[in-house]
Amino acid sequence: MSDIPQITDSHCHLDFPDFDGQLDDIISRAADAGVTRMVTICTKLRNEPAVRAIAEAHAPVFYAAGTHPMSAADEPMVSVDELVALAQHPKFVGIGESGLDYHYTADSAELQMQSLRIHIEAAQRTGLPLIIHARAADDDMARILAEEYCNAPYSCVMHCFSSSAELAKAALDLGFYLSMSGIAAFPKSHELRDIFASAPVDRILVETDAPYLAPPPYRGKRNEPAYTAHTARKGAELFGLEYPAFAAQTQANFDRLFSKAATYRAAA
């Protein structure tokens, strides 16, 4: 197994019921595929203790927490201080996911924008990367990210990026990262692959967003961290790299952005 290129699933949801009672096997299969680290994301702060417990119980797992934009109207508004306090945990490595989703929840746009700015401030104060969910809200997203960056710099990943070339450019121009999910491996995702292929390879991460968006050959089935390898192989093809070289590049990218996770690994 030592000769398998190592990669990181930078975004998954291991606390979801899809994985109940199976985490040991899932993490073992991930390791067999070369996925030696994963970041599990808490999308509602009331679930943070359970997500934290997963990270504490499993050495390869780190975590992040925030309020998902689709829950912004239903959950209590998070405070910057709450997020900063959570960030003191040694395996808490990112802020979010936060963002804007007008596809299903446009009626809560104002609340989503308020929540987003709170998460950005937490990222500015902690130095941890912001994890962004963006769907059908490109103009507002680009504007808010740029406005807040002018107030104080911060780092950020556009998780499961599947938006426009314009939003990709806006994010990359701010020094942010784009994360490639299984969507990029779908046969009809030509335009999305073109966006990734035109981005700097040192700004690319890979993820599953498990249990969602499984890449071929598992499309339509439950996703899991091991399948990050299928998306990463598509990424290597896009960038004209051998798989070991692309895997090493995404590892370096992850370590640069999620430096707290990289430091934790080095100290372990």
pLDDT in tens, 126-155: 999 999 999 999 999 999 999 999 999 999
Question: CA nearest 98: which of 81, 119, 79?
Answer: 119
Q: Which residues contact 267 (CB under 8 A, 6 or more apart)?
A: none
Residue 264: Cβ-neighbour burial (10 angstroms; 0-12, 13-18, 19+): middle
* Radius of gyration of the chain measured on its C-alpha atoms: 17
* 187-241 per-position pLDDT tens digit: 999 999 999 999 999 999 999 999 999 999 999 999 999 999 999 999 999 999 9
Domains of the chain, first to last: 7-260 (3.20.20.140)
Task: Place 265 in a pLDDT band, splitting at 50, 70 and 90.
Answer: low
User: What is the predicted pLDDT for the residue at 3?
Assistant: 87
Cis peptide bond upstream of 217, omega within 30: yes
Contact 12, 39 (CB under 8 A): yes
Alpha helices in the chain (DSSP H): 23-32, 48-57, 80-86, 102-105, 109-126, 138-151, 165-173, 190-197, 228-238, 243-257, 259-267
pLDDT above 90: percentage of residues in the chain: 97
For the residues 261-265, what does the mean pLDDT come to? 89
For the residues 245-259, what does the mean pLDDT come to? 98
* 62-105 per-position pLDDT tens digit: 999 999 999 999 999 999 999 999 999 999 999 999 999 999 99
Q: What is the 3-state secondary structure (H, E, C) of 157-198?
A: EECCCCCCHHHHHHHHHCCCEEEECHHHHCCCCHHHHHHHHC
Q: Which two tokens stand for residue 235?
A: 């990424």
Contact 18, 211 (CB under 8 A): yes
